[in-house]
Amino acid sequence: MSGSLLRGARLPGLLLLLPLLFALGACGPQPPAYIAPRIAPPLGGQVSVAPNEPPRDRVGLLVPLSGGNRALGAAMLNAAQLALFDQADPRVELLPRDTGGSVGGAAEAARAALAAGARAFAGPLTRDEASAAASVARAANAPILAFTSDSSLASVGLWVLGLTPDEQADRVVAAAAAAGAQRFGLLAPNDAFGRRLEAAVRNRLTLAALPPPVVVLYVARSDVSAPARTLAEQAGPEGLDAVMIGDRGGPARSAAAALAAALPRPARLLGTALWLQDATLGQEPALVGAWFAAPDPAARQNFEARYTTAFGERPPPLAGLAYDAAPLSLRAVRDGGGSPPVGVPMMGADGPLMLLPDGQARRGLAILAVQAGGDPALVEGAQVPTAAAGF
């Protein structure tokens, strides 16, 4: 293997990595003469290629390798490598470039990767960084698979891979409606996340020919007990069949307790994948049995096991985005049309995934239920995404 490893990144050495690669595929057919993808130097220099070596397919990886998110950036680099190892193709060349976690850094990282031969990008992390990188990439007709979850950024040539509030609300509301719920409420912060939840809930109920939801949005990071009582008052004596709580942790527990006391009859409580980050939700009796949409547990466990074997630690939740984006970016380079494969379901780190032509990414999400102790219980498995109308 030629080329130098990215300085400062946490990567296994060659002697550790090659046995691992063979072990990962021991139960299936082995690729002939596996060669790991090359990692180009980070400072913009070209990598020398031997005269008889075939041209390489170069993918830019835009991640924060310095600054406050550098640990996440290093994990994303690891995950991208792991995904490209699965391609078992010596022609792949990964071009990691440090965004520094800033808008200017993301634009400069995109320019540096283009100068080194990148023709597609995985990353960057945030909405503003992705917007800045896209302004550079579009001039070169280089597609971007960004890690942001802000679906408003999706456009031709820029795919939003993050798990959006739109698809979470759409999935869990559809599941509750299929189980018989007809009157819905939404209690959420009055911020971008809460407003996206509201739009998605309204859209799903319209598609299901159900009444519009009763909605109360409150000031973020404020006490939610009073807004919960207001929601119950607005619902009237009929009450509600289901209420979505668009908050996490302590606020979610407070909201659930207040709703249980104020509503005239029990309602099924619904939530988002934010609930995966808090194992204490089940300590609130009103939340036990509450449903929320989240990535497919089996797919995630498989990814985490393989990552942990390779790198000696569990990946952070967002590392799976880089695992998905790297091979999709490679396909955009290989296919030569300036686009990754669209309209085709595929399996990612967090379950089924499909890209749409307009920059949206549809994910097949599972429905989980909060338990009094331990991990959430699986209610419904992840569905294969389609291009049909939805969120």
Helices 70-85 and 319-335: angle between axes, nearest 10 degrees: 50
- In this predicted model, which residue has the larger pLDDT, 188 or 2? 188
Mean pLDDT calculated for residue range 316-330: 95
Is the separation of the CB atoms in 41 and 47 below 8 Å? yes
What pLDDT, on the 0 to 100 scale, is given for residue 390? 55
Task: For strands 351-355 and 361-363, give the pairing.
Answer: antiparallel
Q: Say if residue 3's pLDDT is above 90.
A: no
pLDDT tens-digit series, residues 326-370: 999 999 988 766 789 999 999 999 999 999 999 999 999 999 999
Give the alpha-carbon dihedral of 75, 78, 80, 81, to 10 degrees. 180
Q: Return the exposure string of 242-277: e unless at least 16 CB atoms fall within 10 Å of the residue's CB, then b.
A: bbbbbbbeebbbbbbbbbbebbeeebbbbbbbbbbe
Quote the distance between the C-alpha of residue 339 and its chain's center: 19
Taking all residues of the chain, what is their mean pLDDT, rounded to a whole number?
Answer: 86
CA distance 365 to 382: 5
Q: Say if residue 106's pLDDT is above 70.
A: yes
pLDDT tens-digit series, residues 31-82: 222 234 455 544 333 334 444 555 678 999 999 999 999 999 999 999 999 9
CA distance 2 to 301: 33
Is the separation of the CB atoms in 282 and 370 below 8 Å? yes
Task: Tell me the backbone φ, ψ of residue 20, rounded to 5 degrees.
Answer: -60, -45
Q: How sure is the predictor about 13, in pLDDT bands with cuts at 50, 70 and 90?
A: very low
Q: Say if residue 87's pLDDT is above 80.
A: no
Is the separation of the CB atoms in 188 and 198 below 8 Å? yes
Tokens of 320: 């799976």
Amino acid in position 3: G
Look up residue 7 and give its DSSP letter: T
Mean pLDDT calculated for residue range 133-152: 95
- The candidate with the shortest Cα–Cα distance to 124, out of 99, 156, 161, is 99
Domains belonging to the chain, first-starting first, are 14-162+299-359 (3.40.50.2300), 165-294+366-380 (3.40.50.2300)
Mean pLDDT calculated for residue range 275-302: 95
What pLDDT, on the 0 to 100 scale, is given for residue 348? 94
Maximum Cα–Cα distance for the chain, whole Å? 79
Give this prediction's pTM. Answer: 0.84
What pLDDT, on the 0 to 100 scale, is given for residue 54? 57
